[in-house]
Amino acid sequence: MESFVYTASPSRVIFGPGASSKLPEELCRQTLRAALILSTKHQTGEANRIRDLLASNAVGLFSEAAMHTPTEVTEKALAVAQSLKADSIVSIGGGSTIGLGKAISIRTGLPHICIPTTYAGSEMTPILGETADGLKTTRRDPKILPGTVIYDVNLTMTLPQGLSATSGINAIAHAVEALYAPDSNPIIKLLAKEGIRALAESLPIIVKDANDKDARSKALYGAWLCGVCLGSTAMSLHHKLCHAVGGSFDLPHSETHTILLPHTIAYNSSAVPGAMKDLASALPDSNSNAIIGLNSLLDKLGVEKALKKYGMKEDDVDKAAIIAMKNRYDNPREVELEKVQELIRRAWAGEPARTDL
C-alpha cells in the first residue's frame, strides 16, 4: 500500500432527527451561557426557534449573513457580538451563515457551533472564503473549523427541491476533488466514494418527493462525508473557478458549483484515470464513465446548466479566467489560460462538458 498522511478533523458531530434540541445540553457541556445566533434574513424563523430553545443563554440574533461572506457584513456582526458580550456563536443555515460564523470565530476565538440546513459541507472544513472589493479570497486554518456540528434532518425537510439538488452537487464537488488531491489518502477516498454514492442515490428521490425523510437523512449523511473530504485535502481547479466566478460576479454558490463541475471533471479526466474510475463506481448509470454518470445525475435533477441564466455576461468570461489564473490551486493537469477561458465559456453558454480541451 502507498504511504500517506491522514489528519483527523477534531470536530464533534451530533447527528439525528431532532438533534438540534440537544443544543442547550451542548452549550452546558462547554460552559457557554451567552450565544449569538446567526442566520440569513430568510431563515430568521428557524433562528428564532433556536433562540427560544436557548432562552436566557441566547444574547441576540444577527440575521444578515450573505453569500460569499462579505467582510463588511462580518465587521457589522463582530460589533454586535462584542456589544452583547457573546461567549459563543451558533450558526443555523447554509454556507453563507456558517461562513459568517467562521469569520467571527477566527477573529475572536469564540467557540462556534453549526446547525447546517443545506448540504454545502462548509461546517466540516477549516476553510474560510471571504469577499472584499469584489474579490473572493480563501484561507485555511485549523482554528476556522467549527468545534461542534449538529445535523438535524428535520431542519432540511423544507429545503426547496431545486436548492436541495444544487446544494447536494456542491457537496459532491468537494468529494470529487478529494479523489485526486495531491494530499489525498485511502481513508479520504473511502469517505469520498461513500459520500458521493449517498448523495447520488438520495438527491433524485428528494427532487421527486421532498418529504422523503430517509432520503433527506441519507443526503445529509453524504454531505457530512463530502465536507470532511474538502476539509482534509487541497482544493483544485474546480474550487478555484467557483471562487473566481461566484465571488467576483456575485453568482449563487451551489448553482455555480453545479454548472462548472462536469466541465472541470472533463478538463482533468485524462490526468486522473484512477479518480475517474472511483467516481464512476460511485455514480449510478455511469457505464464506467464518470462524465456520463454525472450528466445522467444532473439530468435527473433537472438543474440549470448555464451560468448566463444567473446573470453572468459573456464579457465576464475572460475576466473570470484571468482571476482564476492568479494564486492557482494545485491541479493534476496544467492550467492554461486559453483552455480555462473556453471551459468557462462552455459553462456560461450551458454547453455539454467535453474532454477535447
Residue 289 is placed in which grid cell?
464513465
Query: What digits encode the pLDDT tens for the residues 115-146?
Result: 999 998 889 999 999 999 888 888 889 999 99
Element (H, E) at 112: strand 112-116
What integer is the mean pLDDT of 199-212? 97
Closest CA to 247 of 179, 315, 320, 167: 320
Query: What digits encode the pLDDT tens for the residues 228-276?
Result: 999 999 999 999 999 888 888 989 989 999 999 999 999 999 999 999 9
CA atoms of 12 and 15, how far apart (whole Å): 10
Query: What digits encode the pLDDT tens for the residues 313-351?
Result: 999 999 999 999 988 888 999 999 999 999 999 999 999
Q: Which fold has domain 161-349?
A: Dehydroquinate synthase-like, alpha domain (1.20.1090)
Q: Angle at the Cα of 36 (from 17 to 225), degrees rounded to 5?
A: 40
In this structure, are strands 148-151 and 112-116 parallel, antiparallel, or unpaired? parallel
Q: What's this model's pTM, rounded to 2 decimal places?
A: 0.91
Checking if the pLDDT of 296 tops 90, the result is: yes
Question: What are the residue ranges of helices labelled H in 109-212?
Answer: 161-179, 186-208
The SS3 of residue 288 is: coil
Checking if the pLDDT of 1 tops 80, the result is: no
Q: Give percent of the chain with pLDDT exceeding 70.
A: 100
Query: What digits encode the pLDDT tens for the residues 208-224?
Result: 999 999 999 999 999 99
Which pLDDT score, from 0 to 100, does residue 247 have? 83
CA atoms of 14 and 116, how far apart (whole Å): 11
Query: What digits encode the pLDDT tens for the residues 17-35?
Result: 999 999 999 999 999 999 9
Which pLDDT score, from 0 to 100, does residue 9 have? 75
Average pLDDT, whole number, for the chain? 95
DSSP state of 114: E
Q: What are phi and psi of 270, to 5 degrees?
A: -65, -25
Checking if the pLDDT of 38 tops 80, the result is: yes
Architecture of domain 12-156: 3-Layer(aba) Sandwich (3.40)
Is the pLDDT higher at 328 or at 187? 187
DSSP letters spanning 18-82: TGGGGHHHHHHHTT---EEEE--GGGHHHHHHHHHHHGGGEEEEE----TT-BHHHHHHHHHHHH
Least confident of 43-47, 188-192, 324-328: 324-328
CA atoms of 248 and 275, how far apart (whole Å): 30
CA atoms of 314 and 329, how far apart (whole Å): 24
CA atoms of 286 and 82, how far apart (whole Å): 52
Residue 14, burial from CB neighbour count under 10 angstroms (0-12, 13-18, 19+) = middle
In this structure, which amino acid lies at residue 35?
A
Is the pLDDT higher at 137 or at 164? 164
Per-domain residue ranges for the chain? 12-156, 161-349
Query: What digits encode the pLDDT tens for the residues 48-96?
Result: 999 999 999 999 999 999 988 999 999 999 999 999 999 999 999 998 9
DSSP state of 244: I
Which pLDDT score, from 0 to 100, does residue 222 have? 97
